[in-house]
Every structure is written in structure tokens, then in C-alpha cells.
């Protein structure tokens, strides 16, 4: 099998395994930001939290059930890096949309410097920043969760980050890299 055939096969297999999770994370993000945040009922923050748990289930399921197989079969470092970039990207995007939705429902869920008249793009960017900072465990403190749901959502992102790191370290022996 040629090197290009291996690469094409890897990306086809990765997409086949990940498309459901990518679709769910994207659909829930759109549902959160454009539908749930406009309902305006106080209990909607709990719907956002429930949807966060559902997304986490699919991300963890993708990691455990599907991507372990890909790691065992891949022999290229670039494949492994793409795989982890996909996981990290899904997590960061997923939580950024959750944080933005919580802010759009009630800006008191977070302490930050976002003006009330800010566009959805600005709000999403601010919470993409928060998600990246939370995932990297830097935590500058310029955006702070205040409500119970916001704090619980941040805790879930930190726990999922820990899971991804442990997942990667635990499977390092299974990675066979061609030189």
C-alpha cells in the first residue's frame, strides 16, 4: 500500500468514526446560541448544562470506542497529532458555545468585560478565549464563572481535558510510529 493510500485511508476512517460527534457538537452549538439563548426562561441554563453532558458523552465515546482503534492501526505521528487536534478542537468549540449560550441567557453567569450591546460574534470569541484558557489550565481570571451552572460547566471542561490527557498518556505505548 502506498503512503498516500495510507493517508487517505486514515482520514476516511477518522471521518467515518468522528462525523456523528462533530455533527452533534455543531448542531447543539447552533441550537444553544440561536434558539435556547433567545427563550429567556431562567431554567434554560439547565437545558444548556444537560446538552453539555450529552456532548461530553459523545466526545468520550468517540475517544474510547473509536479512536483507540485508529491509534492502534496508525503508524504516522501526523495521524496521532490530527486525532488529538480533532478531540481538543471539539472540546474547545463545544464549551465555547456553552459558555456563550450561558452568557446570552443571563450575562450574570460570568463576570467579564463584555458590553451588553456586543454582537454574538464578540460574545462567542470571548468565550472561545475562555475555553482555550480553561483547557490550557492557564486561567487568567479576566472571565470568571459566577453561577452554579457556569462553574459546573467549567469543571466539566477541566475534567474532560484531564480525560483527554490521561487517554493520550495511557495509549502512548499503543502508538507505533514509522520513522
76 domain-assigned: yes
97 pLDDT higher than 80: yes
In this structure, is residue 37 part of a structural domain? yes
Q: Is residue 124 part of a domain?
A: yes
pLDDT tens digits, residue range 119-166? 899 999 999 999 999 999 888 888 999 999 999 999 999 999 998 888
Across residues 22-50, what is the average pLDDT? 85
CATH number at residue 66: 1.10.287.70
Q: Which residues are CB-neighbours of 45 under 8 A, at least 6 positions away?
A: 102, 105, 106, 109, 147, 149
Arithmetic mean of pLDDT, 9-35: 85
In a domain, 179, yes or no: no
pLDDT at 98: 95
**Contact predicate 153/145, CB 8 Å:** yes
Give the SS3 label for residue 52: helix
What average pLDDT does range 7-26 have in this prediction? Answer: 83
Domain carrying residue 23: 3-174
The answer to whether residue 16 is domain-embedded is: yes
pLDDT at 10: 77
Pick the more confident residue, 9 or 74.
9
Q: Per residue in 41-95, pLDDT tens?
A: 778 888 899 999 999 998 888 877 766 676 666 656 777 778 888 889 999 999 9
**Count of the separate structural domains present in the chain:** 1
Flag whether 9 is in a domain.
yes
Mean per-residue pLDDT, 94-119: 91
pTM given for the model? 0.85
Residue 7 lies in a domain: yes
Residue 122: per-residue pLDDT: 93
Q: Does residue 132 lie in a domain region? A: yes
Give the pLDDT band of residue 110 (cuts 50, 70, 90): very high
Amino acid at each position: 500500500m502506498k503512503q498516500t493510500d495510507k493517508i487517505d485511508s486514515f482520514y476516511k476512517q477518522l471521518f467515518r468514526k468522528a462525523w456523528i460527534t462533530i455533527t452533534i457538537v455543531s448542531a447543539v452549538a447552533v441550537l444553544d446560541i440561536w434558539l435556547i439563548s433567545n427563550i429567556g426562561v431562567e431554567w434554560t441554563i439547565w437545558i444548556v448544562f444537560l446538552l453539555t453532558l450529552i456532548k461530553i458523552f459523545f466526545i468520550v465515546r468517540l475517544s474510547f470506542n473509536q479512536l483507540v482503534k485508529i491509534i492502534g492501526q496508525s503508524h504516522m505521528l501526523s495521524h496521532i497529532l490530527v486525532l488529538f487536534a480533532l478531540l481538543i478542537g471539539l472540546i474547545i468549540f463545544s464549551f465555547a458555545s456553552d459558555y456563550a449560550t450561558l452568557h446570552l441567557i443571563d450575562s450574570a453567569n460570568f463576570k467579564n468585560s463584555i458590553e451588553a450591546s456586543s454582537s454574538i460574534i464578540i460574545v462567542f470569541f470571548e468565550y472561545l478565549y475562555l475555553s482555550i484558557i480553561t483547557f490550557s489550565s492557564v486561567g487568567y481570571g479576566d472571565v470568571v464563572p459566577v453561577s452554579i451552572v457556569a462553574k459546573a460547566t467549567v469543571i466539566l471542561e477541566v475534567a474532560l481535558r484531564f480525560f483527554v490527557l490521561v487517554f493520550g498518556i495511557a495509549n502512548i505505548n499503543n502508538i507505533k510510529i514509522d520513522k
